[in-house]
Amino acid sequence: MDQESSSSQHPKGHQRTRSAVKATRPRSSTKGPLDVGDTPLASHLLPPQTQQTDQQTSSSHAEQQHQMMIPGGHGHQARAPVSGSPLLPRSPAAHSPAPPHSRRQPPPLSLSPAGPSPRMSFSPGPGSGAASGRGAPRPPPDFSHLLRPDIYHELAPLNVPPPFRQSAKQPSASTPIPDLLARGHFRAAAVAAAQALTGANGAPAPDPADHALILSLFYVRLACLTLIDATALATQEVKALEDLNATFYVDETGHNLIPWELRILAVRLQAISFADQRRAVMSYYDLAREARLRLAEAAAKHDNSEKQLWRERLNDLGVRVAGVLVEMDDLKGAVEHLTSLKESDNGSGKMQMARALLWLHLGDVGAARGCVKPAEGSEGPSDNMTERILHALCDMADGKYSEALNQWEELSKVSDNEMIGVNRGVCLLYVGRLQEGKDLLEGLVDSGRTSHTLLFNLTTMYELCTERSRTLKVQLTEKVAALEPTSFGWEKTNADFKL
């Protein structure tokens, strides 16, 4: 076509795209997984004689010693490059299809200028680095990427009802974090953790090498965000950690130095942010593999308390996998998985109850009843309680609300547990006794219980019993705000009261 026509105001017909505006794909390196792990940063900052790079990153049996230069660090102090993470270099070669364990990008580490080039053996995956740690001690990893303020969101109390915001019970800004957690001030603790990490509250930021403190604060931040229903923010902030299985996080004993609780939470948050729950299942299995290795190590050292710790962590992981399967709506899979788990030895009936609840969720009430049977030589009233609770729930699932109510009433004489009270209140609604149910739930609030479920059920009853439910809900916020803060939490959001 004519080139002249393209400049007219009526572009018609075909236009030839000029080459200059053609979208180009960024030039990508042709290096593959077996190639050298050099980052653009590394090639910048390394002095020429240390340009020789590692040759064996791909092997997963990396016990060889190498005169290895850790790129990116020579004479270069703590701050991580502003543009990106220290773990994944900018070059697209990093995103090669090789599995993460077989190729490690050594991150830029802060080196003391006078130190010799340290040797580093590659630990390709969690739990296999037992033999590493030879030679000079590795310099501590640099966590300054978690100290940047831009990864933390603002947490304004926009959705907090006024009685909480204006209450005298709000903590002061200088309250230490453990105190905030103990008294349930989770939003304040999240803010304090972010401030402690970024040095915003006047105190200096932590030493970038102090990974225990930094990661602990980071965990406090993420955990508190999930506790105040700001999980979406947490899923974004967790991205700063990148890949938790990277060698960056492996310490000199070869173990992952991220606190276990943070790894567990990160699995869930990353699965949400990628909208892929299967990742969570895979990650839990990876953690389980590591837990087994640690368990074996502890057994070899005859360290019973550590053995116990890892065993409990393993059991915990098993149940969490079942939870993920439930979230994925694979209920049959969850049932089979939960059935395959060994019951822990303390016989608390927790696993039986968990299996029964899963059957109820699925709809098979008969199987649920069959889950909790009185054990031979049972432990007496406590197992009986589990059974009674379960039978009451099964009656509700069968639509027999009157009978369920009788059972909850009997149970509430023995226990003033919040769950029993709330379930009893719900049953009262289903048998036409709304007023009593409402009074019961209000009584629970008066006695200091404030779970989301209790507030939700109570506000639903408010909506049913009057045209002016908003007045009642506001009164409820005042009542809850007047309660003493406990570790269960104190401050609530508007959504908790359906406002």
Query: Could you tell me which of 91, 65, 206 has the C-alpha nearest to residue 142?
Result: 206
**Applying CB under 8 A, does 419 fall inside the site for other proteins?**
yes
Residues of this chain, 178-197, that bind other proteins according to CB under 8 A: 178, 181, 184, 186, 192, 196
Q: Identify which of residues 374 and 432 has a Cβ nearer to other proteins in the complex.
A: 432
415 binds other proteins (CB under 8 A): yes
Figure out which of the listed residues 45, 240, 282, 357 binds other proteins, where binding follows CB under 8 A.
357
Shortest distance, position 175 Cβ to other proteins, whole Å: 9
Binding flag, residue 240, other proteins (CB under 8 A): no
Geometric angle at alpha carbon 202, from 201 and 203, rounded to 5°: 100
- Residue 94 makes contact with other proteins by CB under 8 A: no
Nearer CB in complex with other proteins: 278/332: 332
Q: Counting contacts by CB under 8 A, is residue 308 touching other proteins?
A: yes
Which residue in 53, 121, 123, 216 binds other proteins (CB under 8 A)?
A: 216
* Other Cβ atoms within 10 Å of 228 Cβ, number: 23
Residue with smaller CB distance to other proteins, 88 or 227: 227
Tally of CA atoms within 13 A in the half-sphere of 355 that contains its CB = 22
Contact mark string toward other proteins, 440..459, x via CB under 8 A: -------xxxxxxxx-xx--
Q: How far is the CB of 285 from other proteins (least distance, A)?
A: 16
Among residues 75, 99, 115, 399, the one that binds other proteins under rule CB under 8 A = 399
The correct pick among 400, 409, 412, 499 for binding other proteins (CB under 8 A) is 400
Going from the C-alpha of 199 to that of each of 36, 76, 195, 213, the distances in angstroms are 37, 22, 6, 13
* Cα–Cα distance for residue pair 180/201, rounded to 1 Å: 16
Stretch that binds other proteins, among 106-114, 148-156, 282-290, 466-474 (CB under 8 A): 466-474
Residue type, 8: S
Report DSSP state, residue 130: T
90 binds other proteins (CB under 8 A): no
Q: Contacts with other proteins: how many residues (CB under 8 A)?
A: 121
CB of 149 to other proteins, least distance (A): 16
SS (H, E, C) 283-308: HHHHHHHHHHHHHHHHHHHCCHHHHH
> Which two tokens mark 334?
């969850």
Contacting residue, 353, 372, 480, 481, with other proteins by CB under 8 A: 353
Assess 235 for contact with other proteins (CB under 8 A): no
281 binds other proteins (CB under 8 A): no
User: Does 382 contact other proteins by CB under 8 A?
Assistant: yes
Q: How many helices (H) and strands (E) does the chain have?
A: 18, 0
What residues numbered 123-152 form the site for other proteins, per CB under 8 A? none
The CA angle 204-205-206, to the nearest 5 degrees, is 115
Query: Residue 174 is encoded by which pair of tokens?
Result: 């200088």
Residues contacting residue 322 through CB under 8 Å, at least 6 positions apart: 334, 337, 338, 341, 354, 358
Residue 68 · residue 54 · CB < 8 Å: yes
Q: Distance between CA 205 and CA 196 in Å, rounded?
A: 6
Sites for other proteins among residues 8-67 (CB under 8 A): none
The rounded distance, in Å, linking the Cα atoms of 228 and 212 is 24
CA 372 to chain centre: 31
Least distance between other proteins and beta carbon 474 (Å): 13
Judged by CB under 8 A, the chain residues 312 through 351 that form the site for other proteins are 312-313, 316, 319-320, 322-324, 326-327, 329, 331-332, 335, 339, 346, 348, 350
In 10 A of CB 464, how many CB atoms? 12
**Least spacing, CB of residue 165 vs other proteins, in Å:** 19
